[in-house]
Amino acid sequence: MSFDSFIGNSAAVQTVRDMLRADRMPGALLFTGPEGVGKKTLALMLAQAAVCERLKDDSCGECPRCRRAAEMIRGAEEDLARRRELKDSARRVEGLLYFDLQLIAPITRYILSEQIRVLRQVAYTRPFELPRRFFIIDQAQDIHWQAVDLLLKVMEEPPETTTFVLVCPNAGELRSTIRSRCQRVTFSPVDEDLILRLLKERTQVPEPKQRLVARLAHGSVGRALAFDLPGCLARREIWLEFFQSLSGGLGARARTPDWQRLFDSTRKLTGDRDSFDDILGTGSELLRDMLLVLESGETAPVSHVDLVPQLKAWAAAFGFAGIVALKEGLDEAHRLQIRNVNQQLGLDSLAIGMVSPARPGQPAPG
Ligand SMILES: [Zn+2]
């Protein structure tokens, strides 16, 4: 795949293209930065470009070596997927064979010792088919502790025809002795406008929701492309009803709290235990947005960009103290959940707390 199709992180792309042009491929590289910005993708693109017969600082995708490189990547991914399915732990690393372009990634929670042992055996032999060998180690922080020394040994005596690319979100999780042997390429979160363009071009996300998805992806292309918009909207809908009923209960027009509707909302909140954390997370986002709107008005950098008028209305209804009280209630609900206390109970008491007449700065109900 050509570098032109890579989204964002132009400085990182420039760095690797400069390496290719200068014909100076380091023995070890470390690609580090947030999840979902394309670190592994760029490592694979680099390896393919390095062996392309036609282009110096890119891959044509058509020459025999480019095609072979693509096959090797596919083969490695299929092999990893197959091994992850195996129940018998001994068989997971049985018969490991490494291509000249090899992707190495965790098979279990870890990259296993045997995976690194095979890497060491192969690294010092001449490449079989390609002019240079690339070992791309994805999630390098998950190399089993028993195998880290082995990898370090290889990196201390770098094989001439092999380049290692370690891919790792947080370089601090790697041992410093490994880190110091790598040339580092740093990645940043991708600009929201670039993600927006990507959503327009490559997804079915409806136009009015594209900005929302781009914002909630927090600079991650991966997160934007895999974003569960229906799930997000369903979780949000519950909160919209909740805040709506609550603001009605507190507002001057409806002095009598709508208890029934309130509890219906919280009951819906806890209907699906598995997504309880996600639901609470969405609630936190909305409360944070209300605080932002209260502080900076309509231009506030809120997450839920398509809800600004509602956020403004609720923020006015709850006031600063009310939003903070809700936030504290949410945190309490989260603690209760961790301690496995009945979730419904936690949220019901939170709702009662919110509409009780004891809160300062609000007219007493009745
Ligand atoms: Zn090519």
Centre of ligand 1 to C-alpha 186, Å, is 26
Q: Is residue 366 part of a domain?
A: no
**Ligand 1 centroid to residue 20 C-alpha, Å:** 14
Residue 103 and residue 80 in one domain: yes
- Ligand 1 centroid – CA 52 distance (Å): 4
What number of residues does the chain have? Answer: 366
Residue 120: closest CA among 153, 90, 166, 76: 153
- Structural domain including 73 reads 3-186
- 72 Cα–ligand 1 center, Å: 14
Do 75 and 147 have their domain in common?
yes
Q: Are 253 and 346 contained in the same domain?
A: yes
Task: Please tell me whether residues 165 and 85 are part of one structural domain.
Answer: yes
Q: What is the count of structural domains for the chain?
A: 3
Residue 36 resides in a domain: yes
Centre of ligand 1 to C-alpha 358, Å, is: 72
291: amino acid identity, one letter: L
Query: Are residues 259 and 235 part of one domain?
Result: yes
Place of tokens 């390496």: 19
Question: 47: CA distance to ligand 1 center in Å?
Answer: 11
362 is a domain residue: no
Q: pLDDT 10s digit of each residue in the chain, 366 long? A: 899 999 999 999 999 999 999 988 999 999 999 999 999 999 999 999 999 999 999 999 999 999 999 999 999 999 999 999 998 888 999 999 999 999 999 999 999 999 999 999 999 999 999 999 999 999 999 999 999 999 999 999 988 899 999 999 999 999 999 999 999 999 999 999 999 999 999 999 999 999 999 999 999 999 999 999 998 898 898 888 888 877 875 544 443 434 455 556 656 656 555 567 777 888 899 999 999 999 998 888 999 999 999 999 999 988 998 898 888 877 877 776 666 555 565 666 666 555 554 444 444 343
* CB atoms inside a 10 Å sphere around CB 150: 16
Ligand 1 centroid distance, CA of 62 (Å): 5
Give the DSSP per-residue string, 138-195.
TTGGGB-HHHHHHHHHHHHS--TTEEEEEEES-GGGS-HHHHTTSEEEE--PPPHHHH
Residue 154 · residue 2 · CB < 8 Å: no
